[in-house]
Amino acid sequence: MREKPLVDEPRWHAAVAVLAAVGLYLTLPNKITVGPLWLMPLLILGILIPLLIVAPGRHLEVAWQRWASITNIFILNIFNIATLVQLFIWLVSVHHRRAISGEQLLVGAVQIWITNVIVYALWFWEIDGRGPSVRCRVPAQQEQQRSDFLFVQMTLDREVRERMNWKPRFLDYLFVSFTNATAFSPADTYPLTRLAKTLMMAEAMTSLATLSIIAGRAINILGS
């Protein structure tokens, strides 16, 4: 059976998630942001906007465009981890702890957690099968051998997969990231490579630290 024409993977889906993460950072309590407030948005948007203009679709992107996308995710990840560390500093320091309210701590924890989900959804989307550009060209019968994640649709009969012409999109990876951050385990999508497993463990550890320590302390402050 002849496969249907491959469908392009748009960049704007992930761009919306990146903008949401930037918005979350800008609305964090000032005490837990890292460096000047304008620095992270400037770095992120300075890469994202040119990519949206030059390469709105990812099926024909060149190497520098993919590395720019990876750099953007890396910057977002570094700032989110730095914010989490800053929040820990405020939490363990008696002097600092008096300067941040339970409401601010809880809001900060929720924002960091949501950003964590977005960041790792972007990582999953970027690394699976060597990136969106390669995934767009991989035939259905070779998806399992070349993928870092096994989606349910990949286990269907070959003819069914070819008729569906299904390819994972950013929303699929966002779902994987969300379930991993909430249940600390995959739902219906499984990591196949060590890189995918490492990323899922890193996300789960960050999520666990945010929920159990920071959010838990915030609830104790509010209840006292």
* Confidence grade of residue 6 (pLDDT, cut at 50, 70, 90): low
Please tell me the total count of domains within the chain: 1
Mean pLDDT over each residue of the chain, to the nearest integer: 84
CA 68, distance to chain mean position in Å, is 16
**Phi (first) and psi of residue 62, to 5 degrees:** -100, 175
Residue 27 burial (C-beta neighbours within 10 Å; 0-12, 13-18, 19+) = exposed
Cα of first residue to Cα of last residue in the chain, in angstroms, is 67
Instruction: Confirm whether 6 is domain-assigned.
Output: no
Within a domain: residue 180? yes
Tens digit of each residue's pLDDT (9 = 90 or more) over 190-216 = 899 999 999 999 999 999 888 777 766
Q: Which residues pair with 211 in a beta bridge?
A: none
Examine residue 67 and state whether it is found in any structural domain, yes or no: yes
Confidence (pLDDT) at 87: 81
3 in a domain, yes or no?
no
Per-residue pLDDT tens for 125-164? 999 988 887 777 766 666 666 788 988 887 777 777 777 7
Bridge partner residues of 10 (DSSP): 57
Flag whether 2 is in a domain. Answer: no
User: With contact defined as beta carbons under 8 Å apart, do 106 and 218 qualify?
Assistant: yes
What's the token pair of residue 188?
């219906």
Q: In terms of Cα–Cα distance, which of 81, 82, 31, 88 is closest to 213?
A: 88
Q: 46: which 2 tokens?
A: 């300075």
- HSE-up of 25 (CA within 13 Å, CB side)? 32
Exposed e or buried b per residue across 51-84, where buried means at least 16 C-beta atoms within 10 angstroms of its C-beta: beeebeebbebeeebbebbeebbebbbebbbebb
Residue 101: give the domain boundaries.
Answer: 12-223
0.85 exceeded by pTM: yes
Average pLDDT (24-51) is 91
- pLDDT of the residue at 211: 79
